[in-house]
Homo-oligomer: A and B are copies of this chain.
Amino acid sequence: MEPHAFTLYDVLARNAEAQRDDLALIAEDGSARTFAELRARVDALGSGLAARGLAEGDRVAVLAQNFAAYFELYLACARQGLVAYPFNWRWSVEEVERLLERAGARAFVADQSTLDKVPAAVHAVSNLAFRAVFDGAPGAGWIRFDDLYAAAVTPPPSLDATAPFAVIATAAVDVIPRGAVLTHGNVLASSAMQIGTMGLGPSDRNLLALPLFHIAALGNAMGILQAGGANVVMAKFDAEAAVELIDRFAVTYLSDFPPVATGVLDAAQKRGTRLPSLRFVSGLDHPAVMARLQQETSADFWTGFGQTETSGFVTIQRYRDLPGGAGKPGSLCRVRLVDDCDREVPAGTPGEILVRGPIVFQGYDGQPHVTAHTFRGGWHHTGDVGRFGEDGTLFYVKRKPEKELIKPGGENVYPAEVESVIMTVEGVTGVCVFGVPDPKWGEGIKAVIETGRTDLTLEAVRDHVGASIARYKRPGYVELTAELPRKDDGAIDRDAVKARWP
């Protein structure tokens, strides 16, 4: 192995060597592990995975809420060169099934809360090394996750930072979510940038409350690890419990997607605490929420532009630096704004946001043509549109029409997918789905439906959508019309729809 080689497991090993008795992981029940203990757990788990026949490059699918063991599994995968393939527990059985086919997983891990989402198909996958549950009693064909920790530790394979670490689902442009392949180097670079920009260190503690299948949760957890700090693991976000954990364990860092910050601020108010330990909240939220955080606590709201494909934030700033701004590119990336012909646009003019640097993902899993297109000209094309201020600050403008993503509570919802489901409702002849401001989730889903029917209710549409795809993809707003505006070629005129039904 080359002495330049360095992985996320090396980050853990470095901490176990340099900060052995510092806390690394704290569970909701208050039980905690030092870095030395965490490393011992990860060594045992990695060895156990190898003993079960998992080898470098194999994928491990995970469909579960957050557990300390889930975090350990990420690091054990990092140790063995396995690729973690986290699934969104909000997906429907059918979505899990479709992704399972694409993932080619060699192991499957679930928990009691997700077992009913596990498709029958998982039992038909012939080369599965094991099916394990994090908690509770395993049913037939399942083992306890705890039993995977081996008593005898075996050495890991030689790996370097170019090895893939995880495949994170992004957006279901073509019904099956695309999987962004992130390497160790991607996550290391993203964390280094975050540590440098925000000033994170060993005294920081992150509340790991967002789901670990999301880049915001995973990225911040790894960033805090790299900073030598501790992660406080919540199974699932709950505002009152979060406030209690923040105060009890002197949490300094919180990741936010609506309505996390609002919930935390409301609960803090109710409890009569100003969350004195909190220093950083990062994510995307309403300006009013960011301003409120500043008023009611001593924390700063860090916001910017980023996506799964860039391992997290590309540009970042404190809300108070320039309300409305998305910040400047971090020190390990470059950003260009271009028109549809990839020509750079001047400051002030909106253009597609292109990114280059070690934070850019390796491509979409199993989709080399899509990847090549996204990477054309040597820059990652984000599908998002922004403009630069004169001083180089990025302002977010909108998504490109062909990647018209809706982000309720940080999730990715593609209008095309929801539209294809609504089109199967009897009597529907056309539909246009788009994002609208939503007080709770930041962005809500609106469907304008062309139909002769007058009996179609919001509830009926929601039930129909929720029955076949994830519930977070259900529209929150529905309007019926006898005729949608169309262009000369018969395509729905989306801009006209949005203008008429804002």
Residues in A lying within 8 Å of B, measured CB to CB: 1-6, 10-11, 13-14, 17-21, 158, 161, 185-186, 188-189, 192-193, 195-196, 199-200, 226-228, 328-329, 331-336, 355-358, 360, 362, 375, 378-380, 391-392
Contact = CB atoms under 8 A, between A and B. Distances in A.
Nearest to A360: B3
6 contacts: A4-B357, A4-B362, A11-B331, A19-B392, A158-B378, A196-B196
Nearest to A191: B331
Contacts of A185: 4
A378 B331 CA distance: 29
A331 B4 contact: no
A356 B332 CA distance: 21
A315 B65 CA distance: 38
A3 B392 contact: no
B196 A378 contact: no
Nearest to A200: B196
Contacts of A329: 14, 17-18
A137 to B, nearest CB: 40
B4 A334 contact: no
Task: Pick the most buried of A3, A192, A357: most chain B CB atoms within 10 A of its CB.
Answer: A3
A189 B195 CA distance: 13
A392 B16 CA distance: 9
B10 A357 contact: yes
A358 B199 contact: no
Contacts of A188: 332
B195 A3 contact: no
A185 B331 CA distance: 14
A303 to B, nearest CB: 17
Contacts of A379: 3
Contact of A14 (B17, B158, B192, B334): B334
